[in-house]
Amino acid sequence: MAFRKRREALRSILSGSACIRPGSVYDAVSIRIAEDLGFELGMFGGSVASLAVLGDPDIALITLTELAEQMRRMSRAASLPVLVDADHGYGNALNVRRTVQELEAAGAAGLTIEDTLLPQAYGETKTQLISLEEGVGKMKAALDGRGDPSLVIMGRTGAASVTSIEDAIARARAYEAVGVDALFFTGVKTRGELEAIAAATRLPIVLGGSPEEMTEPAYLGGQRVRIALQGHAPFAAATLAVYETLKALREGRSPKALKGLASSGLTGRVMREADVKARSAEFLGLENLGLKN
Ligand SMILES: O=C([O-])CC(=O)C(=O)O
Ligand SMILES: [Mg+2]
């Protein structure tokens, strides 16, 4: 699927009336699995990008080049539209513009730019925000960096849990006014807060994590929430699986006695083996490569 089609698919989620749950993806294998399971959208979180690429926590150590390269690998592996968490845009507003260009070229369907001060400032233990004015400059730069008008640009704020709901609303309205496509909120804790946000804004809403009282899709859809994240359990599951497998091997279990491994059928699907087989027959003159379907 051409990148534009992926972006249009994300746009149609945003302009619809339902709230969807994206699949958390972080590499070529996870995006193919999410695509095969019928997810409408992949979410490439900054936290899992950092884990998958560096094995490090989410503290803005990953570089734009590393993030974009991982996105490019996913874009090649599958055609599922992906929303990328582009953190603070890897610097000031001029860096944001470059970030948008790189992620667009890497095939992202959409991306978020947030107003968190990153990396963490010296001596500050709590999350800090940049000013509303600087946030607006970043959103304008993001829109200016877009070459394909179908690329979705979301303004993201965590103000709800850092300063106040009023501040989150003021920031969202300012980002809305400069032309972002959607508003992404983290730290919204109650239905009352979400309803205040929905009443004061007009763009589609994306929620990055929602507490128990806000998980009902019909309720969320009614508040203009079009995408609600649900964490990054797949990465945690994969980590445990690798841990348990290596531990069992280290303890002397024979590879044949291991549990919880992907079947050859599942591995073959993930590798798109049937396609490889067909291409090998056509281009290499190999009718039987011995590949399993
Ligand atoms: O975007 C998300 O999925 C939430 C987030 O900030 C991260 O995981 O880094
Ligand atoms: Mg993040």
Q: Which ligand is nearest to the CA of 112?
A: 1
Ligand 1 atom nearest to CA at 50: 9
Nearest-CA residue for atom 4 of ligand 1:
45
Task: Give the distance (Å) from ligand 2 centre to CA of residue 43.
Answer: 11
Binding site listing for substrate = 47, 156, 232
The pLDDT value given to residue 210:
80
Structure tokens at 33: 């699995």
Structure tokens at 116: 């968190």
Cβ neighbours, 10 Å, residue 162: 18
Is 168 within 8 Å of 194 (Cβ atoms)? no
CA distances for 18 relative to 22, 65, 184, 216, 221, angstroms: 13, 34, 16, 11, 5
Q: Which ligand is nearest to the CA of 208?
A: 1
Task: Give the distance (Å) from ligand 2 centre to CA of residue 288.
Answer: 46
Which of 70, 184, 207, 232 has most ligand 1 atoms within 8 Å of CB, for mutation? 232
Residues with CB under 6 Å of ligand 1 are 43, 45-47, 58, 85, 208, 229, 232
Segment 219-276, tens digit of pLDDT: 999 999 999 999 999 999 999 999 999 999 999 999 999 999 999 999 999 999 999 9
Is 44 within 8 Å of 26 (Cβ atoms)? yes
Ligand 1 atom nearest to CA at 209: 4
Strands 205-207 and 152-157, sheet pairing = unpaired
Name every residue whose Cβ is closer than 8 Å to that of residue 113 and which is 6 or more positions away in sequence: 86, 87, 88, 89, 96, 99, 100, 138, 139, 142, 153, 154, 155, 156
Q: What three-state secondary structure class fits 220?
A: helix
Domain ranges of the chain: 3-230, 262-293
CB burial of 242-267 (b: ≥16 within 10 Å; e: otherwise) equals: eeebeebeeeeeeeeeeeeeeeeeee
Is pTM, for the whole model, over 0.90?
Answer: yes
The hierarchical CATH code for the domain 3-230 is 3.20.20.60
In the block, residue with structure tokens 């008008």: 149
Name every residue whose Cβ is closer than 8 Å to that of residue 251 and which is 6 or more positions away in sequence: none
The pLDDT value given to residue 293:
46
Nearest-CA residue for atom 2 of ligand 1:
45
Interface predicted TM-score (ipTM) of this complex, two decimals: 0.97
The three-point CA angle 109-110-112 to 5° equals: 160
Name every residue whose Cβ is closer than 8 Å to that of residue 141 and which is 6 or more positions away in sequence: 89, 93, 94, 96, 97, 100
Which of 82, 85, 157 has most ligand 1 atoms within 8 Å of CB, for mutation? 85
The pLDDT value given to residue 288:
60
Residue spans of the chain under pLDDT 50: 292-293
Task: Give the distance (Å) from ligand 1 centre to CA of residue 147.
Answer: 25
Ligand 1 atom nearest to CA at 49: 9
